[in-house]
Structure 1
Amino acid sequence: MKLKRAMGIAAAAVLLGGGAAQAEYPERSIGMMIPFSAGGGTDVPGRFFAAEMEKILGTDIVVSNVTGAGGTIGATQLSQARADGYKLGFMPVGTTTTQPHLRRTSYNGDSWAPICLVAQGPQYVTVLEDSPVKTVDDLIAKAKSGKLVTGGPPPGSLPHIAQAAVANAYGVKFTYIPHEGINEVAKSMLGGRVDMAVWFGDAKARFGLRPLAILDSKRSAEFPDVPTLAELGQPVESFVWFGFFAPKGTPDAVVSTLSDACEKAVNSASFRGNMEKAKRQVRYMPRDEFAAFFARQYEQNGSLLKEAGLVK
């Protein structure tokens, strides 16, 4: 009897163990960290994306905003999280490819398992709708007088680097005031403390900011009358992208499941419709393509920061 009972317990353990090994991911809710404030430039597409991933994966995606230090506080926490597929991050190019060079963060380009690229879009040079600055020439003239004040996310962010590139192209200097996010920048502009900011195409609809120039090689369909900076003699281009990441060491099967779900989410009519309303451009890359793209961006932006004198 004792032998039969022991064999029965062993068989049950094998069955339970096999069932656990075969359990499909995800079994519970997933946390998705966004390293900037709610309603900001990263949060808007991130929440659109989370809503679609919930439908596809059949589980809750719990979004958390972990702000501070150019997104590095949230990114640091995520890089140190358990790599089991239940702690993920929706992060922009600046947090992942420029801040590590600037701040000597504990995370770097090798700290992640890139899942997919979700969106990418050009930036614009913007001013208030009723600003006396009507053209880029007006802007540069004000800069030459020493009176131009600009604002944006913390130093090393893509908007900051883009402003530095524009200033360098025209041989002028901007007084740059760092803010936590675009909401705060817009408040400073409305309060008369900031004259200009570099941001996405949604800056006009959301904050009443008027685009003076697009930092792209071609004009946009949304603002066909807004010239490219290249047309004005300075071929400065700047794009911001957003990707989905897991901590390094996340099981390959989990990353593959997430990448497949990401493709469905990004290509869904509802996601694309929401992004279009928000004046954002969608761009999907699967895991392998995105991983290679991310590695190139990490190295290129590190070199760009050195050339701009922002890091030694």
Structure 2
Amino acid sequence: MTRIASLAALLLSLTAAPALADYPERPITLIVPAAAGGNADITARLIGQEMARVLGQAVVVENRVGAGGRIGTQALVRAPADGYTIGYAHVGTLVLHRYLFKQQLYDLDRDIAPVGLVAETPNVIVVNAASPYRDLKSFIDASRAQPDRLTMTSADPGTTSEVGVKLFIAQTGAAVRQIPYKATAAQLADLLGGHVDSMMENLPPLIGNLKDGRLRALAVTTKRRAASNPDVPTVAEQGYPDYEQSAWSALVAPAGTPPAVIARLNAAMNTALHSEAVARELRSRSQEPLGGTPADVKTQIQKELPKWENIIKAAGTTLD
């Protein structure tokens, strides 16, 4: 490097340092690639409000809906890498979409900078309370005895419950017939009406029906039991130790965001997640706060990639 270039680099670092030290000086936009009022939106707003208190600046949620979350993620990667636009991402946008879409709108390894893991939401396998199946073993045994007679519903193709059912079939040998639905309400109506035998879906929207006794939970899909339903065992506990899947989420920023800004955002996120009020609210909604470092996001992604690549490619599922 020449003396002139070295001097220029020094001057740049000196002028940048005060700006980073003062960060943030204005509100931060948090892009949520999902509709207002949904689980992702509620979680993002909860975390954003507490981060705003820590950072001393507003965190403004901007819902960018479309293409299964890709519209919002594309808006994020195109934003200036200055720390004033961050994004809420989940296993779908960070992992599943790599294999579900032939046309990639961005390169996740190149275009985003992880901030930290937010929370983990389990899926749950439920049956009608009148069902004869009281545990996972009896359900799986019955399915094997009469292949394709028992049904298991899930959400749309490409969701964690839809690929989760495929993983469940692959790892447990359950001989169930999968039926994807566009809406949780329709799945629930058919399950309560006795038209289908079981359902795998995110736990939060089913808590009410579990509490009032209309549904019976056979298992949650995470490694840990859900704080909201601690009496429900995991799939792993019931003889399938390798089975694990959830709807986990993370905060991310555009690639090139200064490391000092990422560190500030990460610290604020961790403080928010571990505040008593936020942790209590998340757990009441069957979400486990995670937190950690930016490197933990990369580790989580790398852990999930081979599992979902195998399942999605074997099924031949594509969304474009």
**Quick check: TM above 0.5?**
yes
Per-residue CA deviations over 1:249-270 (Å, capped at 9, x if unaligned) read 2222221211121121112112
Q: Superposition pairs for residues 1-312 of structure 1, below 5 Å? A: 22-23=18-19, 24-104=22-102, 105-110=104-109, 111-127=111-127, 130=129, 132=131, 134-135=133-134, 136=136, 137-138=138-139, 141=142, 144=147, 146=149, 148=151, 150-152=153-155, 154-168=156-170, 169-179=172-182, 184-190=183-189, 192=193, 196-206=198-208, 208=210, 210-217=216-223, 219-220=225-226, 222-235=228-241, 236-310=243-317
Alpha-carbon distance in structure 1 between the residues aligned to 2:245 and 2:265: 28
Residue 67 of structure 1 deviates from its aligned partner by 2.6
The runs of 5 or more residues in structure 1 that have no matched partner are 1-17
Alpha-carbon distance in structure 2 between the residues aligned to 1:109 and 1:185: 29
Alpha-carbon distance in structure 2 between the residues aligned to 1:231 and 1:290: 26
Answer yes or no: is the 8 Å Cα contact 1:215–1:229 preserved in 2: yes
Measured at CA, do residues 36 and 131 of structure 1 come closer, stay the same or move farther in structure 2, by a change above 3 Å?
A: farther
Answer yes or no: is the 8 Å Cα contact 1:70–1:155 preserved in 2: no
Residue 304 of structure 1 deviates from its aligned partner by 4.2
Alpha-carbon distance in structure 2 between the residues aligned to 1:148 and 1:35: 31
| Secondary structure, aligned partner of 1:44 | helix
Residue 159 of structure 1 deviates from its aligned partner by 1.5
Answer yes or no: is the 8 Å Cα contact 1:212–1:227 preserved in 2: yes
Residue 303 of structure 1 deviates from its aligned partner by 4.1
Residue 36 of structure 1 deviates from its aligned partner by 2.1
Letter in 1 for 2:287: R
Measured at CA, do residues 303 and 79 of structure 1 come closer, stay the same or move farther in structure 2, by a change above 3 Å?
A: farther
| Secondary structure, aligned partner of 1:76 | helix
Measured at CA, do residues 116 and 195 of structure 1 come closer, stay the same or move farther in structure 2, by a change above 3 Å?
A: same
Letter in 1 for 2:201: W
* Residues matched between the structures, number: 288
Per-residue CA deviations over 1:144-174 (Å, capped at 9, x if unaligned) read 454625131x322222111112233334243
Letter in 2 for 1:118: V
Alpha-carbon distance in structure 2 between the residues aligned to 1:207 and 1:84: 45
| Secondary structure, aligned partner of 1:45 | helix
RMSD value, Cα: 3.1
Alpha-carbon distance in structure 2 between the residues aligned to 1:27 and 1:45: 24
Alpha-carbon distance in structure 2 between the residues aligned to 1:217 and 1:256: 29
User: TM (normalized to structure 2)?
Assistant: 0.77
| Secondary structure, aligned partner of 1:67 | coil
Letter in 2 for 1:268: S
| Secondary structure, aligned partner of 1:241 | strand
> Which 10-residue stretch deviates more, 193-202 or 236-245?
193-202
> Which 10-residue stretch deviates more, 300-309 or 264-273?
300-309
Measured at CA, do residues 225 and 64 of structure 1 come closer, stay the same or move farther in structure 2, by a change above 3 Å?
A: same
User: TM (normalized to structure 1)?
Assistant: 0.78
Residue 91 of structure 1 deviates from its aligned partner by 1.3
Letter in 2 for 1:27: E
Per-residue CA deviations over 1:115-140 (Å, capped at 9, x if unaligned) read 01121243321245x45464344577
Alpha-carbon distance in structure 2 between the residues aligned to 1:140 and 1:80: 50
- Percent same amino acid among aligned pairs? 30
> Which 10-residue stretch deviates more, 100-109 or 166-175?
166-175
